[in-house]
Structure 1
Amino acid sequence: MFKTLLYVNMGANFDWYYWLSQLFLYSFVLVGVLGWSSGKYSKLLLGFFAVFIFGFQLFHSLSTGNGERNHRMKIGLYLDKLEPDKNQWIMLEPAGYIPYYSKLKVSDDIGLVDKRVTNEILKNKNHWYPRFLQTYKPKYVLTLFPIPKTNKAYLDFREDQKDWFQKNYSLHKVFYAKEAVNSTQNIWLKKLYNLKPSARDYYLYIKR
């Protein structure tokens, strides 16, 4: 419960942080449908419910799979080729496909895989992100927002921290989400990816 409240307070409102609620979501919906439906229309309603859930899950899976396979995995493979020293650290938000395929040591913005991040947040959540970079100096920083021009709360840099970051890190590459959307020639999949784009732009910074 404490970690859930911490994530919400940081603005991490992603459904995969609350898997327990998702696990029981369909169970509650199914109970509601069974309780509401009766008589000759019960089978029809249950059939409609099953088709709807299957379609929704298929839609979600295809979109999410595209974002992971055609975007985040490629970023990880790019980093794998870029950095031969696998003892180097990268600071990033999604502790999943990207660090796995890059084979680099990872600190994540939420603190799921590096307790140093969580400890830094608990000390003082104000300006914790630039403070972490100044303390541990990871070679790579991968963000969903350009630094320091961002309105993201936990990426809030003081003026002196902005100057420090610009002196010590440089923008190496931007991985655009539209590249993942355009990765398929299938017109229907392309429409689906545009309707629910799972991929997002990533900004890769390297320590000077």
Structure 2
Amino acid sequence: MLKIFSSSFLLILVTLIIKVPIFLSKHLQEDSFITWRVARNLLHYGVIGFNGDERISASTTHLYVGVSAIFQLVFGENFIYPVLVFSSILFALGSVWIGKVLFSQDVLKRGYFVVFLNMTPPALTASCLGMEYGILFFLYSGLIYFGIFKDRRWAFALFPILLIWTRIDTAIFLGVFFLADLVIRKKINFIFILGGILGLASVLAFNFFYFGELVNHTISAKNLAYKNLTPNYGPEYFIYQWAYYGGLIKKHAWWTLAIFLGFLAFLAFAFSKIIKEKSKISFRIKVILVAMVVFALLKIAVFSFMQAYFDWYYWLPRVFLFIPVLYYFLNIFQLRKRLLIPSLGVLFFGLYIFQLWQSFTIGYMEEKQRVRIANDLQADNSGTNRSIFLEPAGIIPFYTGLYTYDEVGLVNKRINDEMVKDEKFWWMNSVRDFQPDYILTMGKKPGGNYYHMKSADFKYFDAHYRFVKHYPIAEIHQNAPEILQWIYKIRPIGKDYFLYKKR
């Protein structure tokens, strides 16, 4: 093991082997396809947008759009697995850097730390599901290792710029670690401030001059579309949201909250031992570990309070919550190494199987439903000369190439304009105004509490659109392998879809 762990290359290779089954699950995050289509649009039209030459910041990440464009340019339509491997390598390298911070003199402990961390569910999702979070963790770790730990001046200038170009909300991380650096150095780091200002100013200037807006359109679109999503948003709901997104159990329930609070109690206990240890843990490492947890809990709390209903926002905060737990077991917990390492191996292998099981469950559902819908549309001679109105705007628009109107307005501002003009009947008004060739409704047929329609609208809709196909999620659950059905029974995943075509 010493030979493998002493080589960063071999260590990263081990983490890649661990992640191969996740790749085979076909579990890819829906929003990754939005970024990949924006990247393809950039290559085909020379415009950062989603539909032809229309400029729109439909992706939350500018840097990853550029990276995805390079991979599509090099690998063509077969770019997905190469970009997933690239993301996984960057995440693993970031974990190696964190390992060097925490275990600079102990190669074996560092190796076990890297392997176990890469087996945790948030590490697997951040690495393997196609989003920008593998790159983001690499950049976070680079700032911690080269900046906070090794005090390299260039790191304080470079990493803040790259972080903010990856996601604007990394300002939370930069703020927390600026304070950590201040505590360690006992003086203000003006290069750090300059890096943050340059990153934020450059992104805002680019957004303003290229897109005509200061922040990414995805932010304003979600704020508009989701403002009435939870009308009874009170303290109890916020606490449940906080536990739901902070932990690994995806159930809004009291026991989810209890498990998360139990985890935090153990984390507090572990920190009490870490802080009290004076002989083998430096002040710098203690501050870094505290900053990781402060960042994680702050981001989880802020995003939960802001009603950010997307699990991927919380992947990296969960990773940072696992880091001090692993550090405690490997460096503080009193147990013979012959028992400790196998025990940790069993624990983290269990977490790994937990995520692998979920990934196969979600991947199976996506393959049998949304990928199937995309195939049906392609067989119907779809293309950019035709349009679709649907939600979400990921897998189906990516594979069909259809001009897209999405129900949130992430990829098409015209939808947001309709929401502003008529908060209740914006969906039907959009159908009348844009007359999409295909309409795909989710969960329900047109009419009712979500797809609001007046009596005259039903006549118009029936005259101009015909029902094509129902894609029931219950049928997918029932036909799934039995091992996957267990997850569907505990946590029903997915909704029905109803496809309509213009007459």
Structure 1 length as normaliser, TM-score?
A: 0.78
Query: Quick check: 1:203 aligned with 2:498?
Result: yes
**Distance of aligned partners of 1:159 and 1:188 in 2 relative to their CA distance in 1, 3 Å threshold:** same
Partner of 2:367: 69
Partner of 2:223: 5
Which stretch of structure 1 is more off in the superposition, 70-79 or 58-67? 58-67
How do 1:147-186 and structure 2 match up within 5 A?
147-148=446-447, 150-152=448-450, 155-184=451-480, 186=481
What SS does the aligned partner of 1:91 have?
strand
Partner of 2:430: 132
Correspondent of 1:192 among 466, 471, 487: 487
Cα distance, 1:48 vs structure 2: 7.2
Aligned equivalents of 1:86, 1:3: Cα separation in 2: 23
What SS does the aligned partner of 2:410 have?
coil
What SS does the aligned partner of 1:60 have?
helix
Q: Is the 8 A contact 1:70 1:183 kept in 2?
A: no
Q: Which runs of 5+ in 2 are unaligned?
A: 1-218, 231-306
Partner of 1:146: 445
Q: Is the 8 A contact 1:129 1:156 kept in 2?
A: yes
Q: Is the 8 A contact 1:93 1:109 kept in 2?
A: yes
Query: Cα RMSD (Å) of the superposition?
Result: 3.2
Cα distance, 1:207 vs structure 2: 1.7
**Distance of aligned partners of 1:109 and 1:84 in 2 relative to their CA distance in 1, 3 Å threshold:** closer
1:120-174 deviation line (CA, Å, top 9, x unaligned): 22333221111111101101110011112x322xx22222323322222221211
**Distance of aligned partners of 1:28 and 1:134 in 2 relative to their CA distance in 1, 3 Å threshold:** same
Cα distance, 1:85 vs structure 2: 5.4
1:69-101 deviation line (CA, Å, top 9, x unaligned): 121101110111123554111111021222223
Cα distance, 1:182 vs structure 2: 4.3
Query: Quick check: 1:40 aligned with 2:357?
Result: no
Which stretch of structure 1 is more off in the superposition, 111-120 or 74-83? 111-120
Q: Is the 8 A contact 1:90 1:107 kept in 2?
A: yes
* AA in 2 matched with 1:173: K
Structure 2 length as normaliser, TM-score?
A: 0.36
Aligned equivalents of 1:178, 1:15: Cα separation in 2: 24
1:38-84 deviation line (CA, Å, top 9, x unaligned): 6437x699667634542432233122111211211011101111235
Q: Is the 8 A contact 1:67 1:197 kept in 2?
A: no
How do 1:14-53 and structure 2 match up within 5 A?
15-16=309-310, 19-28=312-321, 30-31=323-324, 39-40=333-334, 50-51=348-349, 53=351
Aligned equivalents of 1:7, 1:62: Cα separation in 2: 31
Which stretch of structure 1 is more off in the superposition, 175-184 or 106-115? 175-184
What SS does the aligned partner of 1:174 have?
strand
Identity of aligned residues (%): 26
**Distance of aligned partners of 1:64 and 1:14 in 2 relative to their CA distance in 1, 3 Å threshold:** farther
Aligned equivalents of 2:435, 2:463: Cα separation in 1: 13
**Distance of aligned partners of 1:167 and 1:9 in 2 relative to their CA distance in 1, 3 Å threshold:** same
What SS does the aligned partner of 1:170 have?
strand
Structure with the higher strand share, 1 or 2: 1
Q: Which runs of 5+ in 1 are unaligned?
A: none
Q: Is the 8 A contact 1:180 1:199 kept in 2?
A: no
* AA in 1 matched with 2:390: L
Aligned equivalents of 1:8, 1:104: Cα separation in 2: 25
Q: Is the 8 A contact 1:87 1:105 kept in 2?
A: yes
Aligned equivalents of 1:189, 1:71: Cα separation in 2: 15
**Distance of aligned partners of 1:91 and 1:10 in 2 relative to their CA distance in 1, 3 Å threshold:** farther
Cα distance, 1:107 vs structure 2: 1.2
Aligned equivalents of 1:189, 1:72: Cα separation in 2: 18
Correspondent of 2:377 among 51, 63, 79: 79
Partner of 2:298: none
**Distance of aligned partners of 1:115 and 1:52 in 2 relative to their CA distance in 1, 3 Å threshold:** farther
**Distance of aligned partners of 1:200 and 1:102 in 2 relative to their CA distance in 1, 3 Å threshold:** same
Q: Is the 8 A contact 1:71 1:199 kept in 2?
A: no
Structure with the higher helix share, 1 or 2: 2
